[in-house]
A and B are shown apart, each in its own frame.
Chain A
Amino acid sequence: MTVALRLYVAGSGLHSEVAERNVRELCASLEPGSCELEVVDVSTAPELADEDRILATPTLVKRDPPPTRKVIGDLGDRELLMQTLSLPAPPGDAKTNQP
């Protein structure tokens, strides 16, 4: 099953950069194809932020499967993030290392 994620970032903001790196690392650690990530810059696509009713950046939205979940912040806690997004544990590893 594929989890569809959209990450809202703000240009070159520090929090946004960290969050994007964290999510990309997480997705890379999972089974290939289990995670689909789209990164949206609010300054160029505010209408998408309107649609998803986004206030803060960075915000990660789990769009599918339902229910919709939003995680705000730089997403530093990978374990909590996986739980929140109901992602399967990466192959052969229950514990992940914090950066």
Chain B
Amino acid sequence: MNGEVERLQLGIPGFDQIAEGGIPRGRASLVVGTSGAGKTVFALQALAAGVRLYKQPGVLVTFDETPEDLLRNAQGFGWGLEEAVAEGQVAIIDCAPSHDEEQIQMGDFDFSALLARIMGAVERVHAQRVVMDSVSSLFPQFNDPYAVRRELGRVIRGLRQERLTTLITAERTEEYGPVARFGVEEFVADNVIILRNPLAGEQRRRTIEILKFRGVAHETGEYSYTIEAGTGIRVLPRSAIESFKDASTERVTTGIEGIDEMLRGGVYRDTVMLISGATGTGKTLQVCEFVRAGAQSGERGLLLSFEESAAQLMRNAMSWGVDLRSAVDSGSVRISARYPDRMSLEDLLTQIRLEVEEFNPTRVAVDSLTAIERGASPKAFREFISGLINCFKNAEVAAIVTITTPLMSSSEAISEMHISTLSDAVILLRYAEVAGDLRRVLTVLKMRGSAHDRCIREYTIHDTGMALGGAIQNVEGVLSGSVVHRPST
């Protein structure tokens, strides 16, 4: 007897990693969250995964929704819960309040009936997992919350004696307040998982935290998670650049000859290149050239567009002499246009990851990050950027991302500061006032691991794309965005 607590893998993607192997086996764990945080999704997903992945049948006790409603809501996640019920792998115990019968309370009671029903079902399906959802709905059915707490405690001790691993969901009213309503944590305090869904900026930002596992190691702090159709909950590992693969020394073309020259032969194969510039400076053109150049040498390119539809993008590219359409038709380029305002950044990041995994490109372009930044909190956006770059690094793609800077501004765009530290190459596109004319100039701000041309060069945009001219002397303010030519006298 070394007191070692065994783990039970829940089978929720990403969760078992932050739980360092799973929740304590044979114990009860409390899953709390505000309304809409995904407690029921979490619990049902764990139950379904138990059947599907670990051949562990389960019992679901519902205090809130009817079994029919629960199964209908679970359908969209594709866990096969309904089938598991039909096959006798999952038993449902209906304890939802009924609206067509009256119930009054007259004196003391216990929950022996509940425990007997659970045990009956456990025997029937040989269950190892039990879910109780949600115990908060149990309290209004009785007029003595103290008795409900005491009796729930007794039921949970009964389940523990049978070595059943139990997930108990309970509601909380504040994201950062008491653990749960009705003091539920008093009878199941050993293991607590918190799901949060606070507003950050104008978007919901879902996080999960393991508050405690008694006597067992686990990761601390809040982790982002998403809820998607077809999967359910997916916990994202801490967004950090976790694994740098061996740096590549192979160079690939940016699609623009002059820029390749400035970079001494193109970018490295595993580079994330940032293009920053005001509207109309040719960022999207560079993106299109980058993807087309890949397609020309037989590479696959994924273009993630957040500002224009695929049709608009292909039309605009054609006006610069870049034929994206035939690359799309041949299947070597995929254009994926999305409206980022409609989803949380976690969901967006997951979709991008899945798409990169599925399409398996060697080049990825994002146009633009600025469109994604709108409406997001700075913290959520920073995490998104870290996660995105991490995804590119892991997939070993050459990536190009764009940022739109204000046309007239003396300060950098907020996002630019953060992203430029994470990207390997940074190219600034600017308008410059030269002898009363507005011209376009560009410069390579940095190129990690390589020498590069440090001059400021003029460029023009034609129906054949971008053409670089000579270096311009005596200009100032390229970094700040308002470039002024000061002729030497």
Contacts and interface: CB of A to CB of B under 8 A. Distances in A.
B101 A56 contact: no
A56 B113 contact: yes
B93 A57 contact: no
A67 B98 CA distance: 13
A65 interface: no
Contacts of A15: 107-110
B101 A67 contact: yes
Interface in A32-56: 42-43, 46-47, 49-50, 53-56
A55 B111 contact: yes
B106 A56 contact: no
Contacts, number: 105
A58 B117 contact: no
Interface string A67-80: 11111111111001
Interface residues of A, number: 35
Contacts of A77: 106-107
Interface in B109-139: 109-114, 116-117, 119-121, 138
Interface string A8-34: 101101011011000000000000000
Contact of B109 (A46, A57, A67, A80): A57
B421 interface: no
B111 A46 contact: no
B489 interface: no
Contacts of B86: none
A3 interface: no
A19 to B, nearest CB: 8
A76 B112 contact: no
Contacts of A72: 103-107, 109, 142
B484 interface: no
Contacts of B109: 15, 56-59, 72-74
27 contacts: A11-B112, A13-B110, A16-B112, A18-B107, A19-B107, A42-B117, A43-B116, A46-B119, A47-B120, A49-B113, A56-B114, A56-B151, A67-B100, A67-B101, A69-B102, A69-B103, A71-B103, A71-B106, A72-B104, A72-B105, A73-B107, A73-B108, A74-B108, A76-B106, A77-B106, A80-B106, A81-B106
Given A18-B107, A75-B106, A84-B104, 13 more contacts: A10-B112, A15-B110, A19-B107, A49-B116, A50-B93, A54-B113, A68-B100, A69-B104, A70-B101, A72-B142, A74-B107, A74-B108, A75-B107
* 7 nearest A-B residue pairs (beta carbon): A73-B107, A10-B112, A46-B120, A74-B107, A56-B109, A42-B116, A73-B106
